[in-house]
Structure formats: C-alpha cells, structure tokens
Amino acid sequence: MYDYMKWFVLILFTVFGLQSRAEHLREPSVKIAVLKYGGGGDWYANPTSLINLATFCNRQLGTNIDPNYGVVDVGSAELFNYAFVHMTGHGNVVFSNAEAENLRKYLISGGFLHIDDNYGMDPYVRVAMKKVFPELNFVELPFQHPIYHQKFRFENGLPKIHKHDDKPPQGFGLFWEGRLICFYSYETDLGDGWEDPEVHNDPEEVRQKALKMGANIIQFVFTQ
C-alpha cells in the first residue's frame, strides 16, 4: 500500500510539475507599450485598444504578447525594453531635445513606433517627428507594401474605421537605411476600432478590419 501511494504521489507531482512548466512557458514574453508624451495631447486615449489587439494577435497569430501593456515616457531609458510602441491622441505633441534624441536612438537601434491619429494630432505629430528625424520625410506606403499583406490582406491599403474628415485613409512611413521604423496611420483611427465594442459601437465587421490591420502591423514588426 505504501509503495502504491508513493508512486501515486510521484505521478501527481510529475503531472502538476509538467503543467506548471507548460504554464510558465506560456507566460507572456513580449511587452508592448503606449508612448507618453508632453504638450497636452491625450496620449492616454483608447485605454482598451492594446489589450484587445494583443489578445487578438495571440489568438490569430500565435504570438505571446502581454495584454497588460506598459506606459513609457518618450525620454525614458525604459523605452528600449519594448520592441513595439503605440502612440495616439487628438491634439498637441511636444518632444524636448532630449526626448527627441532618445526616441531617435530607440528607433535606429531596432525599435518600432506606430502612430495612430485619433483625429486632430496630424499637424503636431509631423512637427514632433521632424525634430526626431530632420533628414527624413513621411512617405506614403504603396498598397503593395508587405505591411498590408501579412496574414490578412488589404489590397487597398488601410481600412476606413471612422469618418473624421471623410478623407481616404493613408499609411505613411519613416525609413532608416531601408527599414521601416515608424508607421503612421492617418484618417482611419485603427485604435478606436480596437477598443471594446461598447466604447464606439462600431459594427463588428469594422472592428474586425481594424484588428486584422493591427495584427498585420504587429506581424510585420516582429518578422521584418
């Protein structure tokens, strides 16, 4: 009887040990963040966006992204802990000289910035990014660019999520030595589409388009 119980306990420890190890191996290993900036713009807009995008990517792409995203200041050394940083808002964006230099180093060294105009930040973010890269200009990406052709295909580029000024959506990029280091989604508002359904009451079809495009950006960043 003693030997039987001993083996039974051993099996239990083995099973639960393997289960615990498996759960440990599936702990979120990739951290993404929202960029906190000065100037009065609402960098904190769309608080549920990255949670839902991470969950969608983990399910659809098999990624292992932590839905509990970070918040990182432009000038912080913590910026270098994130391979993907998301920036959004409706208004003013101001980078100090030190912040601009820190963001520049981050992007040149392998980081990636996704800027999503939540409506109204376009004239400010362009000035701010010019301070980061005086020698670079945003260029519109052609519809054939790989970012539109990852797991999900967008033959006509960015999907239109919110009306805003009723202009066609555009995707712009900054390139450093041939590498796309910053993707700027304009006149679409992907982040609003990523939010919880009850926030904007977007049709599910529209939300799915936004999430799929977001997944394409994530997949492109981690495989380019």
Given this model, what pLDDT does residue 26 score? 55
Whether the pLDDT of residue 17 is over 90: the answer is no
Contact 147, 220 (CB under 8 A): yes
Contact 104, 182 (CB under 8 A): no
pLDDT in tens, 185-204: 999 999 999 999 888 888 99
Given this model, what pLDDT does residue 118 score? 94
pTM exceeds 0.85, yes or no: yes
Distances (CA, A) of 25 to 22, 33, 200: 5, 22, 36
Given this model, what pLDDT does residue 221 score? 97
Please provide the average confidence, as pLDDT, over all residues in the chain: 89
pLDDT in tens, 166-182: 899 999 999 999 999 99
In percent, the amount of the chain with pLDDT more than 90 equals 82
In percent, the amount of the chain with pLDDT more than 70 equals 88
Given this model, what pLDDT does residue 162 score? 87
At the top level of CATH, which class does the domain 31-223 belong to? Answer: alpha beta
How far is C-alpha 26 from the chain's CA centre? 20
Given this model, what pLDDT does residue 20 score? 39
Distances (CA, A) of 221 to 37, 38, 132, 218: 22, 26, 20, 5
pLDDT in tens, 101-151: 999 999 999 999 999 999 999 999 999 999 999 999 999 999 999 999 999
What is the chain's percent helix, strand, coil content, to nearest 5?
45, 20, 40
Q: Where are the domains of the chain?
A: 1-29, 31-223
Side-chain half-sphere CA neighbours of 207 within 13 A: 16
